[in-house]
Structure 1
Amino acid sequence: MDKNNAKVCEWCEEETAHEEKANVYWELPDGSRAIQISNVPSMSCSHCGMEYQEEAVINEIEDQLMLIDTKLIDKVIAYTDLMELPRLLKKNYFRY
């Protein structure tokens, strides 16, 4: 393991987390259904085994889902495709 590329894990606080891509499941803001988002920037810790998304990525996904027409999303969508969908508003005005 290359310690130079490792980051501190948010769960166990060891310097053994690495960036990777993961498939995640997300409930739409209206609660109507869940979707799978593929290739999401994620962290994986070789020490504790936790796989997670950093807060910035979580906020990006949640904001995007609030600002787009979610009817345009199939059951599965790639992270990059999701982030490129046109927004109905420029930003999430509920996030302070």
Structure 2
Amino acid sequence: MKCDWCEDPNAIEITCTVYWELPDGTRAIEITDTPGLKCPTCKMEYQTEATIEALEDQLILIDTKKIGKAISFDQLMAQPRLLKRNYFK
């Protein structure tokens, strides 16, 4: 994969822990095993725009009060949604 930062073609897919602020701004949560990319050249670790959009949409569409301080990416994405989709886009 191509690195979004330095354009090196050798970026690798990884899973990592990220910290995300909830849409209501009340707190941040730890999300483990989140898909991402790591570049061997510039050492940047980041999430793709598609992953960021999926995370942000899911956090808008679920009852975040039911989430503790930490959750895995797969568990987060499996949470039941209150709405079918993000109508604010």
Residue 49 of structure 1: how far off its partner (Å): 0.2
Give the structure with higher Rg (CA). 1
Q: d(CA) in 1 for partners of 2:2 and 2:64?
A: 34
Q: Work out whether 1:47 is the aligned partner of 2:41.
A: yes
> How many positions carry a matched residue from both structures?
89
Q: Work out whether 1:31 is the aligned partner of 2:25.
A: yes
1:74 alignment partner in structure 2: 68
RMSD (Å) for aligned C-alpha atoms: 0.4
Tell me which amino acid in the other structure corresponds to 1:35. I
Percent of matched pairs sharing the same residue: 56
Structure 1 outlier segments of 4+, above 6 Å: none
> Secondary structure of the residue that 1:56 maps to in structure 2?
helix
Tell me which amino acid in the other structure corresponds to 1:89. L
1:18 alignment partner in structure 2: 12
Residue 42 of structure 1: how far off its partner (Å): 0.3
Query: How high is the TM-score relative to the length of structure 1?
Result: 0.91
Residue 16 of structure 1: how far off its partner (Å): 1.8
Tell me which amino acid in the other structure corresponds to 1:70. T
> Secondary structure of the residue that 2:29 maps to in structure 1?
strand
Q: d(CA) in 1 for partners of 2:85 and 2:2?
A: 30
Q: d(CA) in 2 for partners of 1:68 and 1:50?
A: 30
2:51 alignment partner in structure 1: 57
| Structure 2 residues without counterparts, runs of 5 or longer | none
Q: Work out whether 1:86 is the aligned partner of 2:80.
A: yes
